[in-house]
Amino acid sequence: MIKLKFGNLEIEIYDDPTFSLLSTDNSRNYSRHYLSSGALDFPVSQHGIRISNNDIEINNCIIIGSGGATGINKNSALLDTDKVLICCCNTVFCLSVPDLELPGNYLSQGH
């Protein structure tokens, strides 16, 4: 897991390998789900994102990738002004902070 600071907010990014998009008994539920191309049929890596203020969760989402497994480490994500860029498999997701929206379907997929 990595933690990033954005003003008074804390952004946690962590692996969630047991999450299943079609399951009703996941240990964690997410407000939004973002998938790279092919991830619906062949999910490989799944990273949860949680934004909190004073340990109170204000938003969360999960990104799901396909095309080469990745884990979370200190080089997996970075903050750029009011966006967080996160690598998941062969895709870089760009999410707005604090609402965790994917502006204009902003993601970049490698080959």
Place of tokens 């604090």: 98
> Cα dist. 81→2, 43, 78, 94, 95 in Å?
18, 30, 10, 11, 11
What is the pLDDT at residue 106? Answer: 63
What is the pLDDT at residue 100? Answer: 97
| DSSP secondary structure, 17-73, as one string | TT--TT-S--SS--S-EEE-TTTTTS--EEEEEEEEETTEEEEEEEEEE-SS-----
Model's pTM, two decimal places?
0.91
Average pLDDT of adjacent 10-residue blocks, the chain of 111 residues: 96 96 92 93 96 97 93 94 94 95 71 55
- Coil, strand or helix: which one is 104? helix
What is the pLDDT at residue 97? Answer: 96
Distance, in Å, from the CA atom of 68 to the CA atom of 53, rounded to the nearest integer, reads: 33
Domain boundaries, the chain: 2-21+28-109
Place of tokens 């902070």: 97
